[in-house]
Structures are given as C-alpha cells and as structure tokens.
Structure 1
C-alpha cells in the first residue's frame, strides 16, 4: 500500500471517497507502521487496540457512506490520561490504572464522526512535566534523534503523529504540553481556548486550567478535529461554547519579544530562526510590535513556583496519600510541595492571576496576536536526568502563562537550526479566536515551505542572520490563472506587482488541470524523485504589504508555499492540495499552463 508518509486527513478522506482506499487498508498500514517504528522507539504507546478490533471497526465503517462521516476511517491516538472504553487509563502510573466504563466525551464525538482510535500514548506521569521523561513505560524521543526528548507531557501523542503512525492525536495542555512536543517533532499543536473541548473523561492535572489539545500535520487538520470534537458539556465544570472571535488576517499587528527578552539558552541558531519567523510574518501582512514580556513571565511562575501546584494535589489527593511510593520521584516531589501552601496562599495566587489577566487584556490593544518561540531550545535526555526541574522550567519559558491568562495558542514548525534539530513558534491570541488563529498560523506554516514531522525538508538554516531573506520585497511565482493575459492577473496588477522573470520550476514538479475550476486553473505539486522539464512560471516582485493582501485572497485548495526554480533559487509560489490536484488531468508534458490553454 502506498500511503503518504504523513497521514493528512484530507488526503485519506479523498482517497476513501474515491474508493481507491478503504478503512481496512488504512488500519493494516497503520498497524504495520507502528510495529516497524517500535524497533526505533518502543516507548510511544502504553496500550493499543487489538488489531482484530481495529479491523472490525474498519469493516463497520465500510458499511456506511464515506461522504456522511467527516473523519471516515481516520486513525488517531489518545494520550493515556483521557478515557477510551476498552483500554485502561493509567496516566503513566500503573498503580493508578483503572478501566473506564465509557470513553471521554471528545473521543466519543470523534468516533461518531468516523475516526478510529488506534491506542493510548505515553506521557509524563499525571501530565506533570514538559520533558516526556517521567514515565515508567519508557521515554519517547524526538523523531530526529534518540538523544533528545520528545517533549512532554504529551510525549507519545506528538511522536505518533510526527512518525506518520496516525493522522492526529489528542494531548492535553496545562502548561504547554500540547505545544512543546509539537515543536520538538516538527508538527502542529493546537491548544484550544479553555473549555471548548470537554474535559469529561480526563484525569485532571489542574482542572481549572486543563485543555485537551490536538496534534496534527497541518493547522487545517487540527482545526477540523477541534471543530468536530468541541461542544458544551454540562458534565465538565469548565466547559464553554466556542463563541468565535475574529482576528484580522490580511493586515494585522503581532507582538514579538524585545531583543533583551529573547532567551534561547545559548542556541544562536534558534535566535536566527525566530528572527526569520518575524520577517516571514511581515511578508504575510503583519506589522511587528514589541511586547513587554515581564507580566507574562511573572504569570508563568504561578504555575509551578506558586500555589497553583495545590490543584495538582487536589486532582489525586487520595492516591497521593496512599500510593506516594508508587509515583515517579520527580512528579511526587513537585506535588509534595503543594502541602506547604495554605488556603490563604491559594487565594492570594488567584488574586495575582486575575491582576495579570487585566494587564494581559490591555496588551491586546497594542497587537492582535503574539508570535513567540515555543521553547528556547530542545534538550537532551541526559540533561533532564542531570537537572530534571531546571530542564523542565527551561522548556516552559514561553508556554506556562497561556492558560492562566485564558488565551488560545497554535504551535507550528519554524525550521531547523544548523545542528539539524527543529525549532517552533507559537501564535497566541485571546480566547475564542481558535479558528482564525489556526488559519493565520497555517498561512505561516505553508509559506515556510518545510515538510512536517519526520518527513522534513532537509535544508537547515544557516547560522548567520544575513541568510534570512529581506522582508522589504517578496518574489512570487505564478503558474496558472494569474499569468499575464489570464483572468486573475488583475489581482497582481492591483498590488503593483512587477514582472522580474519568466523561468521554469525545478524538474520535480507536476501540473494538473483542476476539474470544475472557475476560472480554469491548474494545480502545481512537487513529486520527489520525478524528473521532468520543469513548468513555466512568471516571477513577480511585490512589497510586503501587497503580498500579504494577495495571500489573504488565495482560496483552498491553493496555498502559498516555497517553490524551487530551475536555477535552485527558492521563491514564494502557488501550490495545490495534492489530493485535489491529482483528481484532475496531468498536463505536465505541455510544459506549462499557457501552452496547455493554447493547445485546447
């Protein structure tokens, strides 16, 4: 079977609806991949649904119309502090394990949409940690190196997606556990606004702050999962309806760290990548605004260095009292600290939290969204062994404040440092901006032009800031309806675009005439290993603001990403969803859209 490395939802759905793929095919391939990957990393899963049950579920789905189920046959993983009927819930503590009588509300909703639960993934015990090292079931590692952590607490969920074992995975996020593992494995981590995904069936860490989060290969996949899984639930005390709040997407202001606040713990490569991310977001229509990070940093200290740790004790108070010896030593030590705080301390902490919320609310008058590093740098497993608390604190430097201040966040890949290790950035915005936040982060991710997960593009950034492209002018390659003399060329003219070259793409691109497109247009896709003659493109130059406005007008299945030209130079350009493109007619041999339209 020839499934893509990353099991993107839309690609699988399109194949299933075209009857070129079945849920049974998907299950068999997923099981084979999991078994093969276990040789490389045996610590991803805590428990799995038996293969015969998975196949029975696939056959059940095959008796239903694929078009009726928005997640038909899509395989997913569940962090093992979220209930799945038929599998134990351990929270990575064998002495705590129990057999749930029903699945968590979010799992039920995803299964009702046609998704297939594959199994339960590893985590930092009781979701206490950002390192992925605090589990008796083993320590998953980053898909890029066995020496480096996968990030926690949702360690196994992130690896399962990045390794192409499932299409998406549920994690949880209290202090950054849905974002840090995404950065360390080159995938997307969407942390919804608190309460949008029901926490019924979740073993709480800090119940007033917990979020069930989504790992995926794209922001569109992650948002699709959140939209399907989200609904008010009276059984979850902090449940809320998603009253969508819009964000400006064409021209917008984004908060960035001041130079003196940019902390990467000595990793200069990541500093360069953050600077590049700022410039790329400028090219997409954003205006950077420096923010005061001090109140955010002070808020973050409440979570582990203040009385909010008491809530972690409240979640497992009886178990902690009777089974303290069965707990991970570091997790136990963290929760032990809760006993030194009084009720007065807790209320004073809550008052400070609300004070910081007022400060944060005023910050949104200066910008619409924040662009922050997801973490200063990835750490080795040995660093965590040597300094478990300090390493964990390092990884939470830019994440711990988000839930305390009632914000939504979406972590996306942002490239690779010269050492070949991944770096990520996080888009942060006020609560209820989830949909637009995912859309904006997705535009950034697509424009970056990197592959996702372990299938990354092998072109790490150089060490010097001079290698970052200028944000003043942007080169854009067009291949179809925007060519000079074609129906959509006016969109370039209104942005005063200047034609700089007529050239060709690198040889490994194919061009397809899209079915039922108005006006007629093609879809360009890259096919690694294919050797053709390249496709004709026109390269235009726009200013950054004009480019941002132009990109905002681009509709699916099109996106703007990075295209390699015949001379090896990379520019921005039109790409198309591969599944949609290949549903059309392959016109690669014509040499380009202009030639194809002339021959018609």
Structure 2
C-alpha cells in the first residue's frame, strides 16, 4: 500500500477489490504523515477517533456514499468537531463543538477528515511562510515557498498524505499553492460552498476552496460539499436560469488571453515560456484563442489590498488585535493594522470603482467562454520572500486578487515544469456559477499536459468528466450521431457533444430492417461481440423524459460498458429484433456501414 495513489478512482477500486479497507488506509496515512514534514499539519486527529470513523464506514454500502473512505485535510481556519481551530495563531485557539457546514457535508458523503493543516496566519498571504507553527517546504524543493495561505492543505495532497483538501481563497490562496505544488485548485463561485464554521478573512469575499490531484476528484468533492446554507448570509444557490450553452462545456469554445503587454512574469522567462506552451496546447486540442483587454481585471485586483477591504480583515480579528497585537505574526499584523485607517468615504469610493470595473468586464464574456491566465507570474525562494515579504507577496496576486471582487469562478491547472523541475500552472476563469464548465476544461488541459499527480509518479486517469453538472452522458451508435438524421433530437434539447468513444469488445451491431431513417441495433454478447464506435453526448437532466419519449421499439436505453471499463447510459436493442438482421459487428461502426452502402 505504500505506493498506492490516493486519487479517488484508485482508492475506490482498491476498496471494491478488497485490496484495502478504510481502517488499513488510516494506518497508512498516519505512517505517511509521521515520516513527512511535521510543519504541514497543526493538528492531526487521534488514531482512535480516525479508526472509529473508518469502522463505521465499513458497516455501510460503498455504493451508497460518493466519497466512501476518501481522506481529506482541512485548513486550520475551518472547524472540525472536537479539534482546535487556530488560524495559525496560538492565542486565537478554540475547540470547535461541531463541523463547519462544508466538512459536515463531506463527512456525510463518506469522506474522512484527517486533521488541520498549516497556513499563513489568518489566511493573510500568498507565500505560505507566515505561521508561528513553522511552515511546510514546497513539495518539490524545500528552498521554494509552498504558496499560501493554504500551504499545508496543498502540500499534504501533493505528497500523497490525503486525497484532497479544503483551503480558503480570498485573494488567491486556493490557486497559488496549487500552482506551486502541481495540483488543481478550485476556487468555486462565491457562496457555492458554505462559510459557516470558517474563520473570516474578508467575510464578503471569502470562498472555501478545494485542492485535488485531478479535476475529476475536485468535481466529486465540489458536488458533495456544495449547497445553499441558510446559516451563512453569503450563501447562494446555483441559479437554475443560467444559459446552459454558456455554463456548460462544448467543443470549440473560445478562450481569452491577456494582450502581451499586460502579461507580467517578473523576469521569469521559464514561466513565460510555459504559459505560451499552455496556450498552444489548448489550441491544439480544439479551443480558439482571442486577445482580451485585461486592464480592468488588473485594476480591480489592486483594490483588494490598496482599498478598504483590508478593513474586513481588521474586523474579523478586532478583539485580538486590540487586546494582544503581539500575538500576530509581524507581517500579518503590519498588513491588517492598516485596515483601521480608511474612512466610510474611502469604502464608497472603492465600491464605485469596483462597480465600474465589473461593468467594464461584462462585455468580455460576450465574446469568449473563459480566460486562460498564468496562475502566478513567478515562483520565489523562501530567502527571497523573507528579504522582501510584502512586495513579493503582492506580485503573486497579480493574476488572482481580482477574482472574488469581480464575482468570478476559477480553477488552477498544472501544465508543466521549469528546467529546474519546479511546477507551473495556468488558471481558467469564467463568470460565477460556470464552475462545471471550468472543471471540464481543466480536465482536458491536465490530460493533454500528461503530468504526474502531485509530487508522485502516478498519472491522471481517463475517467469521463460530464460537460455539465445538470446533464447526464448518453452514448449513441447510430442515427443520433453528429451529422446523421436524428442528431437534431439531441441538439434541439440542448445536448452538447462530449467525445468519441468505443464499447468494450462485448457488443454486436445490426442494421435493423424497415426503419426510417435507417437505424442500427446494438446488443451485448460477450462471446461473439466486438468493439463498436460511439459518440458521447451530454443531455440536460430536465430533457431526458422528452428525449426518451421519442425512442421507438425495439430500441431502449441501458448501461453500456466502454473500452476503459466505465459504464454510460446509451442505446441498446431488444435481441428479438436482430433475428435475420444484417450484422455489422465486423465493421465496428454505423458510419462505416453507411459509407459502404453508398
């Protein structure tokens, strides 16, 4: 088990096969933590309590829990019942009497919280080196910063101590550490994940974020953790009226890139080269590039620390900073104390400027589906940051600080390594509640980049990622394929093409007699079958009843096994209808048959 990857698919397969159990996994996790960097964690739950959780899971059906036995870390500004919350400030420490809403949701889905991870104190910083508990080394080179503020959350996943982790992201803390440790970092739309039980940084802007090894895992965690929470005044439900064609993935989408003069890499040529390669890679897999004006995004970013939002950070810890200011890390204190200097006039002035920037950026989204930016312009060593802590931290926010101010969703994606072996990544950006679209884009880009998972040698799996949360994949093998007579029945209901695929070698294909337009019938036959060409389309859940009502006998919808072992809903045929029908199995494709008949 020492070499077992902790990605969700691998762990689930290991549980189903009996290779391991949640209890055995807990012991392996504790071994990995004990032999690793002690500064990653502020508090690890006791072995007895963790094993008790695992034992309870083992009494349940694995199929009933989407995150069965999946271990995760929690940034130590998010409550876990019976564990201390410190926000990396010993004098702030308290014991939580219940889980934060997001932790409770994940636990209910079968996931196991292992403990609390280190961070930049009070989530103030993008560097990961502002903690009185010390700070974890970067997963690839301990001389480099791990990124912050969610430093321990990122490093624990990169080093394979947990499967995923929770961070927070107000200014980039869920994306910069992901970039520096070769992970995906999902900053959801504000309010999609509840902040109840989270120590606030900027209460009106805070987001709980997710670090994972791949986009599929981030998606699974997001779906289990999200949902409206009436106890959080900033919680927002997923809007149902959003245009499906805008919020969901589709082929040939257009992505924006900042104009060359608006890019900033702080003299890091390696990062510039890797960004340009990432742009080229995205184009090579079918996306279309367009230059956009990044100026209003950058102007909004400057408001976060130069404007009155620092006052929110002061508000969050005002009692402590008044009574015991020496409790704070010197850099953290220097930043937050400035929050008391602004006036109400300053606050209104900044809010008017921000509203103007929001309006100015609205037109950008009419022309493109998402933006591709670097996640960070460079990567500093610990020594460099300690010599100039505030300015270099500010540099790291160049591409991140505007995100929550402008109410955007975003996701960091690893795409390469520098010649020194240090990770690089990009961020995909879209308006709020387009998270699922970004997950699919990130999934395709990560797979095309062919990188290892975190700091391991394991590789990303080939699991299909649905193109929209509100859709279900459907496999078609005949007249509903693109360009064929019945494809309109799918597209008129809002279905979008996902990808080409193939069954495993257990299916037979026949040309059904007397059908107009001509249709095939596919049946499962493990003895005489072969591989059959498919297309996967994503059909909105709300349209399934109308689509199925159009399906004539002897066709129906069943479960089809793909060549990689996954199952997807798709067209199957009643076996009686194939008696005397022309068999096409050897051709392996309805399209090939149609061409042969011309």
Structure 1 and Structure 2 fold alike (TM over 0.5): yes
Q: 1:552-600, CA deviations, whole angstroms, 9 ceiling, x for partnerless residues?
A: 8699xxxxxxxxxxxxxxxxxxxx998869xxxxxxxxxxxx9xxxxxx
Q: Distance in 2 between matches of 1:278 and 1:370?
A: 11
Task: Report the equivalent of 1:209.
Answer: 205
Alpha carbons 1:407, 1:430 under 8 Å: kept? yes
Counterpart of 2:438 in 1: which secondary structure? helix
Task: Report the equivalent of 1:499.
Answer: none
Structure 1 moving runs of 4+ over 2 Å? 1-5, 17-21, 490-494, 512-521, 550-555, 576-581
Task: Report the equivalent of 1:12.
Answer: 11
Task: Report the equivalent of 1:426.
Answer: 427
Counterpart of 1:200 (choices 188, 196, 200) is 196
Q: CA deviation at 1:513?
A: 5.8
Is 2:412 the counterpart of 1:411?
Answer: yes
Q: CA deviation at 1:396?
A: 0.6
Q: Distance in 2 between matches of 1:423 and 1:520?
A: 47
Task: Report the equivalent of 1:465.
Answer: none
Is 2:55 the counterpart of 1:54?
Answer: no
Q: Distance in 2 between matches of 1:304 and 1:381?
A: 22
Alpha carbons 1:247, 1:368 under 8 Å: kept? no
Is 2:67 the counterpart of 1:67?
Answer: no
Q: CA deviation at 1:358?
A: 0.8
Q: CA deviation at 1:21?
A: 2.2
In structure 2, do the counterparts of structure 1 residues 76 and 517 end up closer, same or farther at CA, with 3 Å as the change threshold?
farther
Q: Distance in 2 between matches of 1:144 and 1:59?
A: 35
Please show how residues 495-514 of structure 1 align to structure 2 within 5 Å: none
In structure 2, do the counterparts of structure 1 residues 372 and 120 end up closer, same or farther at CA, with 3 Å as the change threshold?
same
Q: CA deviation at 1:452?
A: 1.8
In structure 2, do the counterparts of structure 1 residues 31 and 347 end up closer, same or farther at CA, with 3 Å as the change threshold?
same
In structure 2, do the counterparts of structure 1 residues 191 and 491 end up closer, same or farther at CA, with 3 Å as the change threshold?
same
TM-score, normalization by structure 2: 0.77
Task: Report the equivalent of 2:284.
Answer: 283
Instruction: Please tell me the root mean square deviation across aligned C-alpha atoms, in Å.
Output: 3.1
Q: Distance in 2 between matches of 1:552 and 1:66?
A: 27
Alpha carbons 2:249, 2:440 under 8 Å: kept? no
Task: Report the equivalent of 1:242.
Answer: 238
Q: CA deviation at 1:114?
A: 0.8
Q: 1:28-73, CA deviations, whole angstroms, 9 ceiling, x for partnerless residues?
A: 111111111x2xx221000010111111111111111111111111
Q: Distance in 1 between matches of 2:152 and 2:191?
A: 23
Alpha carbons 2:505, 2:563 under 8 Å: kept? no
Please show how residues 103-118 of structure 1 align to structure 2 within 5 Å: 103-118=99-114
Task: Report the equivalent of 1:142.
Answer: 138
Counterpart of 2:171 (choices 171, 175, 200) is 175
Q: Distance in 1 between matches of 2:563 and 2:169?
A: 30
Alpha carbons 1:414, 1:445 under 8 Å: kept? yes
Counterpart of 1:414 in 2: which secondary structure? strand
Is 2:127 the counterpart of 1:131?
Answer: yes
Task: Report the equivalent of 2:33.
Answer: 34
In structure 2, do the counterparts of structure 1 residues 516 and 376 end up closer, same or farther at CA, with 3 Å as the change threshold?
farther
Alpha carbons 1:427, 1:441 under 8 Å: kept? yes
**Segment drifting more, 148-157 vs 433-442:** 433-442
Flag structure 1 segments of 5+ consecutive residues without an equivalent.
459-486, 495-511, 522-549, 556-575, 582-593, 595-600
Q: Distance in 1 between matches of 2:430 and 2:507?
A: 37
Please show how residues 271-350 of structure 1 align to structure 2 within 5 Å: 271-350=272-351
Q: 1:148-177, CA deviations, whole angstroms, 9 ceiling, x for partnerless residues?
A: 011000000000100011000000000000
Q: Distance in 2 between matches of 1:397 and 1:185?
A: 19
Q: CA deviation at 1:261?
A: 1.6
TM-score, normalization by structure 1: 0.77
- Which is higher, the Rg of structure 1 or of structure 2? 2
Flag structure 2 segments of 5+ consecutive residues without an equivalent.
460-476, 485-502, 510-521, 525-533, 540-561, 568-585, 587-598
Q: 1:122-166, CA deviations, whole angstroms, 9 ceiling, x for partnerless residues?
A: 000000000001001111121110100110000000001000110
Alpha carbons 1:130, 1:395 under 8 Å: kept? yes
Counterpart of 1:274 in 2: which secondary structure? helix
Is 2:21 the counterpart of 1:22?
Answer: yes
